[in-house]
Chains A and B, each alone.
Chain A
Amino acid sequence: MSLLLDILSTAAILFIVSCGLLLIFGVMKIINFAHGGFLTLGGYAPLLVTQWGWSPWAGGAVAFVIGIGCGALVERFIVRPLHSRPLDAILATWGLGIVIGQLITLAFGRGVQFAASPLSGTVHLFGTEYSVYRLALIGMSLAVAAAIAGVLNGTRLGLITRAVTMNETLARGLGVNSARVRLSTFAFGAGLACLAGALITPLSSVDPNMGVPWLTNAFMLAMISGTSLLSLGVACLLLGGAQVLVSVFGSPVLGALTIVVLGALVLRIRPGGFARG
């Protein structure tokens, strides 16, 4: 039973961590390698918030706002000039990730730190003790998914964004300001990355390089999901599930490799990944 909960909560965490990357990849067709940097940045928000004496819950909100601000700046000055050079955009955002990591090191030191968890303790569920926070993450991931879907399907900006995703040239021909769509997408994606960093912090510790290991997994999940949130959910469940199973029945080292290796193989067999078409 706890295995099932492990799978569900792992998938939830993966979903939260990779949805920002997927959004940017889907709309802008570039991989934001600064995603790891944004995750780290967000991870420090709960730390700050608890130092200020606020409720640990505020960490997520603060991280989200910081992420949106930084994302907008990065899009304007780094990503926009590289629009026609997607491979270079990968490199520039990777360099940016290094810059973020070093700035954080200068500000907070390179040591490992711990942030207070907003929910602690365990709960008795289906005959096992299980961490409350991990359970809460399942709910939060659904909330994040619902929020993204709401923005994409319920607002005018979302409608325009979907249009740009499907056919940017056509959308521009119809008078859509696609530069603004890209700016808001990148800002939103970076905000989600920071939020994710804040949400996963209570599970582990905070250090200036915490984002990098997540980056590769998130990257692979986004690659095989194409542009759809639903297929990201499926990919998180399948590959996250595989990761948990391999870690439990095989070895944790192999488990850490499961997502990247399976992801690469899936892409080899089906270049389009899980997305239809």
Chain B
Amino acid sequence: MKKPLNRQHLALLAVAIALLIVGPWVLPQFAQNTLVRSCLYAVVAITVDLLWGYAGILTFGQATFFGIGAYSAGLVFTHLGFSAGTAVLALVGGIAASMAVAALVGWLSFYPGATPLYASVVSLVLPIVATQIIFSGGNFTGSSSGLSGFESFEIETSTWLWLSGGLLLLTTLAALRFVRSDVGRLLAAVRENEARCDYLGLNTSRLKMLLLVGLSGVCALAGFLYATYGMVVAPEMAGFQFGTELVIWVALGGRGTVLGPVFGTLFIDLGSAYLSGDLPFVWKLVLGVAFVFVIVVMPKGLLPALVGRFTRRTDASTAPAGKLVDAEPQPLAGLAARGRLALHVDAVAKHFGSLTVLRDVSFDARHGELLSLVGPNGAGKTTLMRCISDGRERSSGTIALNDHDIGRLPPFECVRLGIGRKFQTANVFDGLTVLDALAVARTRLDRPRMWRRSESVALPAAAMAIVRTTGLDQLLATPCRVLSHGQKQALELAMVLALEPNILLLDEPTAGLSKPERTQIGDTLVRLAAEHQMCVVLIEHDLDFVCEISSRVIVLHQGEIVLDGSVDEVVHSTLVRDIYAGAAALPHAAAERTA
């Protein structure tokens, strides 16, 4: 696999390396001193960018991880003395402590159902708590004046600059590589549509937590270097103010670009060092005004605005188109192995407060069945589907998938039991390409790689057939947002089938499709049930379509099953006719209801 590193990138890299080598010889002492610091800040800013710009988690807490690394050095060197051994201890201890705190923060912030705002709240509380802990540490932490006067490495400033600049360069390259990898693509998918990821069997909470923990280690390393270089630590390093400054630098530079935050941090921090002496308050005022202006007018930041054409390439969705290959047929094993019954629903009820939406719903379904759920609007069809695919939804009753009780399992765990759910409205990743979306859907089966991007995506036969017949295989590099409604529906179905489920839940898969598209989907569903022995459960309003393809029909009315039988039984049932035609046959009743 060749990476098409274009000439611009190589030139930029060469310039960066040249600047790094030459810098310490030509720059004045003051600039060097400042730059060592700025480079380390920029490393932290990159972690903010990865969390906020790529994964969509606005965080004010990265300062604290930097502070933990710094205080680890300060505390160890002050209380245990300085030696090579204690330096290693401080570094390892700092990174470990930082990661432990990050794990705690992650557990608090990223639970299933957490809102993005809540994660920001927690990241705001973290630095406040950290500063107060430092304040209350007395002589041990140096309280509000921090620790200083400890011994450290005796290295020239120029060497420090090589060191911190080198770290920045490495971090930048690693970050750029990371965001273009499979995992980087996954982060973009989670940011775009977390619910869809959940139903693709991805543990999004764990993904975010791992990202946070990993990046906290990077921050701690930068903090450690900062303390050993400056030989001073202060509570402000872990504080809320620094946390927000990082966000400001990232926003001004351009979130979601990696390079933008690096330039933003270097320019602003260097500028602050030179200008804040002469114009202390005006400089901060200018920064504040610029920040507000950029957020309101250019939400993407300055770098993309200045060189838009060039940096747009850094987004995860613009890699060259890859190709599709056939997946190795693998017999379903483990939890998703075919059960005696595909689906067992027993006495399921769902209440919203005093309103009962489902009442005592029980039925079984086998593999190879094509079961249609029909009923008027408000009968509880979609609610039932939600209860089947998300263990936390129902109020009472039991549900088993492939003979495994789902208990209170969240959707991504239900997916592991062999279920795949297609939503009512086409639910794809607007910012990703078709190929990326399919790759994300395969994440559960083909492990994503952290530093590389897979060029080909393996699809099982059923998904491949959908992609081929709808022509999506010609549109692999197209962003999902420009697809037609029908193409989005087909893509979502292909994504669900890429999970290789043996129970398929489809909520109005033909809504808004043309007649030929409808027939095509109908044929596909029949084949999935007959040839692939899937259990297909379908919600449909079009009774003709239902009668054409179903092997069995369940009629729901006001939250209860009123009929469960073959197509013939439903067609000849007067009850069903009353339910559907009742209101229409009695114009005065309909008129009364609307009045």
Contact = CB atoms under 8 A, between A and B. Distances in A.
A81 interface: yes
B351 to A, nearest CB: 14
A251 B136 contact: yes
A223 B132 CA distance: 22
Nearest to B293: A95
A264 interface: yes
Contact of A98 (B113, B132, B291): B291
Given A253-B136, A271-B114, A81 B296 contact: yes
Interface residues of A, number: 39
A88 B284 contact: no
Given A99-B288, A102-B284, A251-B136, A94 B124 contact: no
Contacts of B297: 81
A256 B128 CA distance: 10
Contacts of A223: 121
Interface in A223-277: 223, 251, 253-254, 256-257, 260-261, 263-264, 267-268, 271
B291 A95 contact: yes
Interface-central residue, B121, B284, B285, by most chain A CB under 10 Å: B121
Given A87-B116, A251-B136, A261-B125, A78 B296 contact: yes
A131 interface: no
B103 to A, nearest CB: 15
A58 B302 CA distance: 45
Contacts of B108: 264, 268
B132 A256 contact: yes
Interface in B430-473: none
A87 B58 contact: yes
A28 to B, nearest CB: 14
Interface in B277-320: 281-282, 284-285, 287-289, 291-292, 295-297, 299
A261 B247 CA distance: 22
B150 interface: no
A115 to B, nearest CB: 22
Nearest to A265: B108
Interface string B88-124: 0000000000000000000010010111111011101
Nearest to B289: A99
Interface in A63-83: 77-78, 81-82
Nearest to A255: B132
Given A87-B116, A253-B135, A271-B115, A98 B287 contact: yes
Nearest to A102: B285
Given A85-B299, A256-B132, A271-B118, A102 B291 contact: no
A110 B111 CA distance: 43
A98 B284 contact: yes
A92 interface: yes
B285 A95 contact: no
A223 B295 CA distance: 23
Contacts of B128: 216, 257, 260
Given A91-B251, A95-B288, A99-B289, A82 B295 contact: yes
Contacts of A90: 58, 120
B248 interface: yes
Contact of A105 (B244, B281, B296): B281
Interface in B246-264: 247-248, 251
Nearest to B56: A87
B104 to A, nearest CB: 11
A249 to B, nearest CB: 15
A96 interface: yes
Interface-central residue, A219, A254, A257, by most chain B CB under 10 Å: A257
Nearest to A86: B117
A103 interface: yes
A85 B299 CA distance: 10
B295 A88 contact: yes
Nearest to A31: B117
5 nearest A-B residue pairs (beta carbon): A98-B288, A95-B291, A102-B285, A99-B288, A95-B292
Given A216-B125, A257-B129, 16 more contacts: A78-B292, A78-B296, A85-B299, A87-B117, A91-B58, A96-B288, A98-B285, A102-B285, A212-B240, A220-B125, A223-B121, A254-B136, A264-B121, A268-B108, A268-B118, A271-B113
26 contacts: A87-B58, A88-B299, A90-B120, A91-B247, A92-B296, A95-B289, A96-B292, A99-B288, A99-B289, A102-B284, A106-B281, A216-B125, A220-B125, A223-B121, A251-B136, A253-B132, A253-B135, A257-B128, A260-B124, A260-B129, A261-B125, A263-B121, A263-B125, A264-B122, A271-B113, A271-B115
Interface of B: 58, 108, 111, 113-118, 120-122, 124-125, 128-129, 132, 135-136, 240, 244, 247-248, 251, 281-282, 284-285, 287-289, 291-292, 295-297, 299
